[in-house]
Structure 1
Amino acid sequence: MSTQGTLGRASFFGSTNSQHLFRVNAGVPIEDALETVSLLQHYVNQLTLDAAMSDDGERYSWCALYLGEMAKALLDDVNDSMFALRAKP
């Protein structure tokens, strides 16, 4: 298991003045971040399926969008962290 953690660089949901509303915290263990990404993506998939199968799909699609943005930010931060680890001499 790696002791590498997230860098806290990735953010999501920007406001109108280009400030980000949410950011990944630095120092989250990579394994925990990836487990969370997996869970978030599972719920995105479930909500997307529900949206596709329901006449009221719009109420599911916004939840899926938000969870998907969270998952992407975590993956981006894990990716940055892994590249930073490889770049160290």
Structure 2
Amino acid sequence: MTTHTTVGHTSFSASTTGKKMFRVNSGIPLDDAMETISLLQHYANQLTLDAAMNDNGERFIWSAFYLGEMAKALLDDVNDAMFLPRADA
């Protein structure tokens, strides 16, 4: 990919106070981040399918939700890393 790394701008998982509990770390190579996004989304999709096909599927929903939220945050941070340098130019 490139030598770009995550910027660490993105936070996720709101607490009861409305503040975000977690943040993407800066300095992660984008190819590693993209591989992780793919894995997180794959498992979120699998859990969602399990939830839809299982009579007791509600136990899978929160796990799928959090995995999807993590994938989205990481993807947003990768997007920032890729496009912020272009905006500065």
TM-score band, normalised by shorter chain: over 0.9
Q: Which runs of 5+ in 1 are unaligned?
A: none
Distance 1:19 1:45 in 2: 27
Further displaced range: 59-68 or 18-27: 18-27
Which residue is equivalent to 2:76?
Answer: 76
Could you list the per-position Cα deviations for residues 49-88 of structure 1 after superposition, in whole angstroms to 9, with x for gaps in the alignment? 1000000111011100000000000000001111112224
Which residue is equivalent to 2:67?
Answer: 67
Which residue is equivalent to 1:29?
Answer: 29
CA root-mean-square deviation = 1.0
Residue pairs, 1:36-51, within 5 angstroms? 36-51=36-51
Which residue is equivalent to 1:11?
Answer: 11
Which residue is equivalent to 2:58?
Answer: 58
Output the TM-score relative to the length of structure 2.
0.93
Q: Which runs of 5+ in 2 are unaligned?
A: none
Residue 14 of structure 1: how far off its partner (Å)? 1.5
Distance 2:2 2:88 in 1: 15
Further displaced range: 47-56 or 8-17: 8-17
Further displaced range: 7-16 or 51-60: 7-16
Residue 10 of structure 1: how far off its partner (Å)? 0.5
Which residue is equivalent to 1:87?
Answer: 87
Amino-acid identity (%): 65
